[in-house]
Amino acid sequence: MSLKETKQKDLQNLLIKYQIQPSLQRLQILAYLVSHYHPTAEEVYSHLYDELGTLSKATVYNTLNLFVTAGLVKPLRIDERQMRYDMVTADHGHFQCDACGEIYDFPLDETSIKEKPLVGFSVKQKFVYLKGTCSRCNKNSSGGSK
């Protein structure tokens, strides 16, 4: 079995694990999500349309919604204009650079996010978004003298 066939089988098994019926479009969308960090639906569509040709935007949006509902991916709304999708479903934070727009993951210390004031509430999701300037852009704007 070739590496490509092995990867395809791994993706099929992942979909099945989340009780999602594998199809060519779903496998291609999942493969894109696995290899690209925090893409938008438009980015997924634009990239895969060139490969598949028959892919519709509705299929991309419906598939991404299916993945979110199943818990396979997390929606990420760090940017007010568009939804992004994240394959890392464990709790973690996101930082978006105001200069270059890049989004970075960072680990969360679970003990630092306390829910004590929410007595009687049931927290299902935690989102931590930070914005500012990334280290690369800070270094570039200071001429590399940091």
Q: Which of 80, 84, 77, 83 is closest to 125 using CA atoms?
A: 77
pLDDT of residue 44: 96
Single pTM value for the model: 0.81
d(CA 43, CA 10): 23
Mean pLDDT over residues 80-101, rounded?
Answer: 91
pLDDT of residue 1: 61
Mean pLDDT over residues 92-97, rounded?
Answer: 92
pLDDT of residue 46: 94
Mean pLDDT over residues 64-76, rounded?
Answer: 96
Evaluate if residue 145 carries a pLDDT over 70: no
d(CA 98, CA 42): 21
* Exposure on the CB side of residue 45, measured as CA atoms within 13 A: 14
93-141 belongs to which homologous superfamily?
Ferric-uptake regulator, C-terminal dimerisarion domain (3.30.1490.190)
Domain with CATH 1.10.10.10 in the chain: 3-75
Spell out the CATH class of 3-75: mainly alpha
Domain with CATH 3.30.1490.190 in the chain: 93-141
pLDDT of residue 141: 82
Evaluate if residue 142 carries a pLDDT over 70: yes
Mean pLDDT over residues 78-102, rounded?
Answer: 90
Model confidence pLDDT, tens digit, residues 11-45: 999 999 999 999 999 999 999 999 999 999 999 99
Model confidence pLDDT, tens digit, residues 99-141: 999 999 999 877 666 666 777 888 777 788 999 999 999 998 8
